[in-house]
């Protein structure tokens, strides 16, 4: 009878010991909030000017879709607190997925050094709200 009791008591004791050991460590386990949802920004490079929409948004990751409406190869260049330059975009082409972590401040979006198109002005405000508890659909 004693052998049967040891078979059941020993696993139960090991399980209790594992629970106690797993509970040890830091007393506080804060969860960091999710970053803001990436913002979709459209840019059009024309012969005379660069247009960006929206022109004002909060700081965080911005994903640019750039349309080249010129007869030349261009690059979208952002000049401000965060500086970034896209890959070359062929004449009449579109680039998607140009990701830039935008910091707060004022920006100019140009078509690169070789273009005479007028720059677009952007204003990036404080960081956008967390996407915590938002349903994210691909």
84 within some domain: yes
135 within some domain: no
pTM of the model: 0.72
Q: Which CATH number is 57's domain given?
A: 2.60.40.420
pLDDT of 94 reads 97
Assign 32 a pLDDT band (cuts: 50, 70, 90). Answer: confident
Q: Is 6 exposed, middle or buried (0-12, 13-18, 19+ CB in 10 A)?
A: exposed
Percent of the chain whose predicted confidence (pLDDT) is above 70: 74
Q: Is the pLDDT of residue 25 over 60?
A: no
Q: Which domain holds residue 110?
A: 40-127
Structure tokens at 128: 């956008």
Q: Count of domains in the chain? A: 1
66 within some domain: yes
133 within some domain: no
Average pLDDT, the chain: 84
11 within some domain: no
């Amino acid at each position: 009878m004693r052998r049967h009791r040891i078979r059941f008591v020993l696993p139960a004791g090991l399980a209790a010991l594992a629970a106690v050991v797993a509970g040890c460590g830091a007393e506080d386990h804060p969860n960091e909030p999710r970053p803001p949802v990436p913002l979709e920004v459209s840019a059009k490079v024309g012969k005379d000017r660069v247009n960006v929409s929206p022109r004002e948004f909060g700081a965080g990751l911005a994903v640019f879709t750039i349309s080249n409406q010129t007869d030349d190869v261009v690059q979208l260049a952002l000049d401000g607190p965060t500086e970034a330059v896209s890959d070359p975009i062929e004449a009449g082409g579109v680039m998607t997925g140009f990701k830039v972590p935008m910091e707060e401040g004022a920006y100019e979006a140009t078509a690169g050094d070789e273009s005479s198109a007028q720059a677009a002005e952007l204003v990036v405000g404080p960081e956008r709200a967390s996407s915590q508890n938002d349903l994210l659909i691909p």
